[in-house]
Amino acid sequence: MADPALERTVVIGTAGHIDHGKTSLLRALTGINADRLPEERARGMTIDVGYAHLAFDDGVELDFVDVPGHDRLIGNMLVGAGEIDAAMLVVAADDGPRPQTLEHLELLDALGIDAGIAVVTKVDMVDEARVAAVVAELETLLGSTALAGSPVLAASSTTGAGIEAVRAALRGVRDRVAPRLADDPPLRLAVDRAFAVKGRGAVVTGSLRGGSVGEGAALRREPGGDRIRVRAIQVHNQAVPGHAGGRTALNTTGVPVEALRRGDVLTDGGGPLAVQGTDHLLVDLRTVTALGAAPRRPPRRDAALRLHLGTDQLDARMRRVAVEARIALLALERETAAFRGARGVLREPASGAVVAGVTVLDVRPPRGISRRRMTADRLEGLAGAIERGDPVAIEDATVALHGARVSGRELRVAPDVRAALEASALELVAAHHRGAPMSAGLPLPRARAGLLKRLRSLATIERRDAAAAEAAVTSLVDELVASGRLARDGDFLRDPMREQAVPRELHAAMARLESVLSVPAPPALGDAARATGCPPEGVRALQAEGRIVRLGPDLAWATTEFHRLAGAALERARVEPLSPAAFRDATGTSRRYVLAILEDLDRRGILRRTEAGHVPGPRAPAAS
Question: What is 161-229 written as a DSSP string?
Answer: TTHHHHHHHHHHHHHHHHHHHSS-PSPEEEEEEEEEETTTEEEEEEEEESS-EETT-EEEEETTTEEEE
Confidence of residue 79 (pLDDT cuts 50, 70, 90): low
Alpha carbon distance 336, 281 (integer Å): 10
Alpha carbon distance 68, 486 (integer Å): 69
Residue among 208, 317, 205, 201 at smallest CA distance from 261: 205
On the question of pLDDT at 80 being above 80, the answer is no
Q: Over the stretch 160-204, which tens digit does the pLDDT of each residue have?
A: 999 999 999 999 999 898 887 766 788 999 998 899 988 888 999
Q: Over the stretch 261-303, which tens digit does the pLDDT of each residue have?
A: 999 999 997 777 899 999 999 999 988 877 755 556 667 788 8
The confidence score (pLDDT) of residue 594 equals 94
The confidence score (pLDDT) of residue 574 equals 94
Within 8 A by CB and 6+ apart from 377, the residues are: none
Q: Over the stretch 436-487, which tens digit does the pLDDT of each residue have?
A: 777 778 889 999 999 999 999 999 999 889 999 999 999 999 999 999 999 9
The confidence score (pLDDT) of residue 379 equals 94
Q: Helices H, strands E: what count in the chain?
A: 17, 30
Q: Over the stretch 494-505, which tens digit does the pLDDT of each residue have?
A: 898 876 556 778
Residue among 424, 376, 420, 418 at smallest CA distance from 401: 376
Percent of the chain exceeding pLDDT 70 equals: 91
The confidence score (pLDDT) of residue 389 equals 84
Per-residue DSSP letter, 578: B
Q: Please tell me the number of Cα atoms within 13 Å of 157 on its side-chain side.
A: 23
Whether the pTM exceeds 0.85: the reply is: no
On the question of pLDDT at 11 being above 60, the answer is yes
On the question of pLDDT at 599 being above 60, the answer is yes
Question: In Å, how far are 58, 117, 332, 334 from 280, measured between CA atoms?
Answer: 46, 35, 6, 9
The confidence score (pLDDT) of residue 49 equals 57
